Amino acid sequence: MGRFTEARFLLSAAAAGQFPPDRGCEVAFAGRSNAGKSSAINAILARRSLARTGKTPGQTRLLNFFELEAGRRIVDLPGYGYARVPERERLQWGPLLEALRERRSLRGLFLIVDARRGLREPDLALIEWANPAARGVHVLLTKTDKLNRGEAAEVLRATHKRLEGRITAQLFSAQNGMGLAEAEQTLLRWLGEDSAGE
């Protein structure tokens, strides 16, 4: 771990015009509010507080870009599934996502799902958004420290079955480090596909 010792916050975008230049490689992280996305990002990057955890669900409607090294970024998408998002912000979110999806540099999506809940409708919608035929979608079934082995195996099986061959998925826990190496490998693979800064 700790490969990205230079990781730093780059910018928050409320509109597509604020995105960083579409060069190099980037990987998006998305998930339902409170699923454990910030904790997963911090664990994978071996950073305690690069992405803020435990904030008010649904509070942030911005896309946060972090630069891991030159030409290699992650994009933290706003948590979804939180009902009390003002209409005005909901309307902003669609075009922002559309613009993100169009980016050549977007290599893959990490979808963070609370293993106790499993995949739900908004998660499936996001998978379709990412277009898994065109780029990788990797589901992190997190908080597995709250499940016993049998329950964890079952949720992984159900996730694979639901999206047969279209996505990859794994068990994960930011708390006890389960699956951390596998998640990191996926991130590195996606970020390493082309030379940076191209």
Contact residues: ligand GDP, CB under 6 A: 31, 33-39, 53-54, 79, 112, 142-143, 145-146, 173-175
How far is residue 136 from each of residues 6, 117, 157, measured CA to CA in Å? 25, 22, 19
| Smallest distance from ligand GDP to CB 90, Å | 18
Closest alpha carbon to 115 in 144, 157, 139: 144
Q: How far is the CB of 82 from ligand GDP (least distance, A)?
A: 9
Query: Which CB sits closer to ligand GDP, 137 or 140?
Result: 140
How is residue 55 written in tokens?
């904030």
- Residue 114's contacts (CB-CB under 8 Å, 6 or more residues apart) are 32, 34, 35, 36, 141, 142, 143
- Distance, CA of 66 to CA of 6 (rounded, Å): 10
Q: How far is the CB of 140 from ligand GDP (least distance, A)?
A: 9
| Nearer to ligand GDP among residue 9 and residue 102 (C-beta) | 9
Whole-number minimum distance, CB 117 to ligand GDP, in Å?
12
- Which residue's CB is nearer to ligand GDP, number 53 or number 168? 53
